[in-house]
Amino acid sequence: MDYQKLMDSAKEVSKNAYIPYSKFAVGACVLTENGNIYTGCNFENASIGLTICAERNAIGSAIAEGERKIKAIAIYSPNSDNCFPCGACRQVIYEFQTSDGADVITEVNGELRVYKLNDLLPHGFNL
């Protein structure tokens, strides 16, 4: 799969972020084991704890369509190079990653960087 296509989709959807409080836009694009692509952006709420991250938004869209395995996820913020998922998102990605693990794609100065989720969350857990 062309990871640049995933990043381009993450960039595009980041424009739809609803961020009146933090002003920190994030877009995410998930590639599933079945080869399907799902996007999501972050959206905030006045009750800050109800804010939804872009990664979990994209994963939720995939789940709603019956997907269960993530091969890769691209994450982009116009506010930050090398935008990584938060701890909660890392655990959610961990639960849905393929048996080979999930690739986490970020961008630094216009260059893609690919990390294995297991390197970002070495002791994730499943029940």
Whether the CB-CB separation of 51 and 39 falls below 8 Å is answered with no
Question: What is the pLDDT at residue 100?
Answer: 93
Question: In this predicted model, what pLDDT tens digit does every residue of 23-35 receive, in sequence order?
Answer: 999 999 999 999 9
> For residue 89, what are the domain limits?
3-120
Residue 91 resides in a domain: yes
Question: What is the pLDDT at residue 125?
Answer: 87
Question: What is the pLDDT at residue 75?
Answer: 98
Question: In this predicted model, what pLDDT tens digit does every residue of 54-98 receive, in sequence order?
Answer: 999 999 999 999 999 999 999 999 999 999 999 999 999 999 999
Question: What is the pLDDT at residue 126?
Answer: 83
Q: How many helices (H) and strands (E) does the chain have?
A: 4, 5
CATH number, domain containing residue 99: 3.40.140.10
Domain count of the fold of the chain: 1
Residue 65 resides in a domain: yes
The three-point CA angle 24-57-119 to 5° equals 80
- Which one of the listed residues 55, 95, 107, 111 is annotated catalytic? 55
Q: Is 55 a catalytic residue?
A: yes
